[in-house]
Structure formats: C-alpha cells, structure tokens
Chains A and B, each alone.
Chain A
Amino acid sequence: MSTTPRALVVLDVIAGLALAVAAGMVFFYAPLERVMGAVQKVFYFHVAAGWVGMLGFGLAAVAGIIYLMRRRSRWDLLGVAAIEIGLVFTLINVVTGMIWARPVWNTWWTWDPRLTTATIMELVYIAYLMLRQGIEDPERRARFGAVYAIVGFLSVPLTFFSIRIFRTIHPVVLGSGDPTATGAFSMTPRMTQTLMVSLVAFSLLFVALLWHRLRLGELGERVEQLRLKLQS
C-alpha cells in the first residue's frame, strides 16, 4: 500500500515515453499543413486532451451509477479522480483550441456549440467539486457526488444539441458557426498516424494519473481513519 506498485511505475514510464514519442511525431513526423502552418500542430494534443476529458466525465457518471447501486467508497474515489483529471484535460482542450482559433478564426473565442459546451461542461464539474467541499459526512458526500455526476453528464449532450440548433437558425458572423468550415483540412496518412499515437499516449497518461489519484484517495481515507482512532 505505501510503496508504489511495480505495475504503476512501469505504466508511468510507458506513458511518459508514449507522450515523448507523440510530441516528437507532432514536431518532426507530421507534415506542415499548407494553409495554417505550424499552428495546426496544436490539433493533435487538442483532440487527445478533449478525448481524455470526455473519458473522465463519462467514467465518473458510470462510477456514480455503480456507487449508488453498490455503496463502496472505492467507486466514489474513482468518480472524483476521473472528474479531477477530466477538468484538467478539458481546460487544456479549451485553451489549446483558443490558441489555434486566434490565428485561424482571427478571434480567441466564438460562441460555437463545441466551445460553449466544453466550457459549460467545465463549469458543471467545478460545481461538482464545490458541492463535495460543502459536505463533511463522507458517505453523504459520495452519494450527492454520484447523483450530480449522473445529472451533469446527462445535461452535456442536451446542451450541445440546444446550442447547435441555436446556431444553425442564427449563424454567427465571426469565424462561422461550423468549425469544419473555417480552418478545415483533410488529414494525410501521416497526420492520422500522429493523431492516433497522441490519442494512445494521452489515454495511457489518463490511466496512470487515475491510478495515482486513486492511491492518493485511498491513502487519504486511511489517514482519516487513523486520525479518528487517535481521537477516540
């Protein structure tokens, strides 16, 4: 329990190496996009971070359902861990997207469905963390967290669809409402390979981080139990 498991160390090394390979491919292997140039290379990590963010939030919703059925604190730990990691990666996704949008769309921000949904999603899960902070009883905190993770995850596709209908009726002038319109490009095989490697690298990183966060949560629970024992 106290020492890091051998498998986790191996996973850390593999994830680090995969990330290095992905970065190398982004810079040296993937071809330069003809119109957008070097800024297009943000795309590989942008998509990978977005994927990991969705993975984290989806996993948290599943963990929430299982927690409500089984009532094991392990599932609650998994839910928080997945959401914390999801928040970080969604933020990376939004920020890299903005870095790309500035030269390509000529604006940091448009009220496009994807941008807006990603940011609202970020707000939903910040609210999740605030809800947990306000509740002391760990069992109740876990139940409420599970309920909110489920409700929040359900609202994400609805938000996306409502904003998409919103934009198709009233198209935005700046940067075009459709993200495939401005700055769209077709991928060469090398680009696809780089994207795939990035996705795998980020997924490995996600699993490694999740594992670390789970261990941290378990250790935190043990500290809490020891403290209670000392007090009594």
Chain B
Amino acid sequence: MKATGAVSFWQATLAVLWKDLAAEWRSRELLSAMLVFALLVIFIFNFALELQTQLRAGLSAGILWVTLIFAGTLGLNRSLAVEKDRGCLDGLLLAPVDRAAIYAGKALANWVFMLIVAAIMLPLFGIFYNASLVLPGVVLVVLLGAEGYVAVGTLLASMAVQARTRDILLPILLFPVVIPVVVAAVKATGGYLQALPLEEIRPWLNLLGVYDVIFTSVAFMVFDSILEE
C-alpha cells in the first residue's frame, strides 16, 4: 500500500505502539496485573516445589520462563480484548494503513510489556533466591525468547479474542505451538546461569533466532486474513 500522502509502514507501526504505551501509561492496568501475577507464580512455585534459597541453575531458568510465559498470556489476552470490546479494532481497521503495521505495532507493544515485566522479575528473582540473574547473556535470551513468544502470541490472540471461548482459548492455542521457544529459552538461560562455554549455548540461541525469524515472517504474511471484515 503506497498511496500518495499515506503514512509509511513504520510511521503507522510506531503510532500503534505509541497508542498502546500511552494507554498503558495512563491506566497501568496491564502491567500491574502481569507483575502481580508473575510474583504470585514465583511464590506458588516456592511452596509447590519446596525450593531452597540456593537454587539449581537449571531449575531457576525453568521457573523464570514459566513465570514470564504465564504473565505474557495474561498481557496478550488483555491487549487484544481491549481493542475488541470497546470497538477500537474497527477504528484501527478504518485507518488507511497497512494491516501488517497494526500487527507490528501491537506485537512491539506486547514485546515492550514483556520486557518490562522481565526487567523487574529478573532482579526480584535474584533477591528471592540469592542469585545474580541480570547477566548480558540472560538479557539476550529474554530479548529473543520474548520476541518469538510475542510474535506468535499476538497473531493467535487476535484470533482468540474473536472466538466465543476466548479467555480459555489463547493458552490452548499458544502453548503447543510455542514449546520450541520455551525449550530453547530455558536451556539457553540455564546455560548462561551455569556459565557454560558458548559452544554449548549456541545451538539454543540459533534455534531461538530461527524460530523468531520464521514466526515473525509468517505472522506478517497471514495477519491480513485475520482482520478482514
């Protein structure tokens, strides 16, 4: 879509992103819910698994990612349900911009929210379990893993919110598809926490990268047909 005078793809994307961030800045609904939920999950894990303060690195990587992914589902559902319920989606669709830009904007906003949650969770987790999790490698894995998760998640959430059973549908649709991201992210995080040599972590980083590229491009290709009416 290159009509004269129309906004460019990136301008539209940034506008959608900015809209989501501004709305969140004013309400703080989504982030506060995600954060409280993430904290609760960590506490439940502590009792359910009878965790000690000195955690095995592999275990803390797993708990970290399960927490992030559960909190992420909450955010994804909310981020698209808001658009659907108040008729904002129709407004977005009326805008003379590429539909892919709407997807890109929403996905970027969800990515930012997940990264904010991760930025708070990592040091908190470190305090609770007496370990240092804020390592450059872990940050890289969180960036890559959250991108892949959000790329598929935004696509599937925009389908799930249009279904009758939407609240229960998103995790069922998303989790089986996103398993490779979880596996790779957990192993890479665990590798960095255990200070393994890079050649043992690299296959997981590669897998995360491949996943991100495949699913982001597929989402761009098929998103048009999700928002059609």
A165 in contact with B163 given A143-B225, A152-B177 (CB within 8 Å): no
Known interface pairs A155-B177, A159-B180, A169-B200. Does A150 touch B218 (Cβ–Cβ under 8 Å)? yes
Chain A residues near B200: list those with CB within 8 A. Answer: 169
- B183 pairs with A162, CB closer than 8 A: yes
Q: How far is the CA of A123 from the CA of B173 in the complex (A)?
A: 9
Listed stretches A131-139, A181-189, A199-207, A218-226; interface member: A131-139
The 8 Å CB contact of A158, one of B165, B166, B187, B210, is B210
Dominant SS at the A interface? helix
Q: Which A residue sits closest to B226, measured CB to CB?
A: A147
User: With an 8 A cutoff between CB atoms, is B127 at the interface?
Assistant: no
Stretch of B43-51, B75-83, B152-160 with 4 or more beta carbons under 8 angstroms from chain A: B152-160
- Residue A85 lies at the interface, judged by CB distance under 8 Å to chain B: no
B22: chain A residues at CB < 8 Å are none
Residues of A within 8 A of B222 (CB): 68, 147, 150-151
A130 to B173, CA, bound (A): 9
Interface size bracket, A side: 20 to 34
Closest to B187 in A: A166
Listed in ascending order, the chain B residues whose CB lies under 8 Å from chain A are: 152, 155-156, 159-160, 162-166, 169, 172-173, 176-180, 183-184, 187, 200, 203-204, 207, 210-211, 214-215, 218, 222, 225-226, 228-229
A residues bordering B, Cβ < 8 Å?
Answer: 68, 120, 123-124, 127, 130-131, 133-136, 140, 143-144, 146-148, 150-152, 154-155, 158-159, 161-163, 165-166, 169
